[in-house]
Amino acid sequence: MKTQKAKTVSKPKKTSTSSKTVRSKKATTGKSVPNEDEIRKKAEEIYHKRIASGKDGTAIDDWYTAEELLKGSGK
pLDDT tens for 34-71 read 999 999 999 999 999 999 999 999 999 999 999 999 99
CA–CA dist 21, 65 (Å, integer)? 35
- Tell me: pLDDT of 75 over 70: no
How far, CA to CA in Å, does 62 sit from each of 31, 38, 70, 71? 21, 13, 12, 14
pLDDT tens for 20-39 read 544 444 555 556 789 999 99
pTM of the model: 0.55
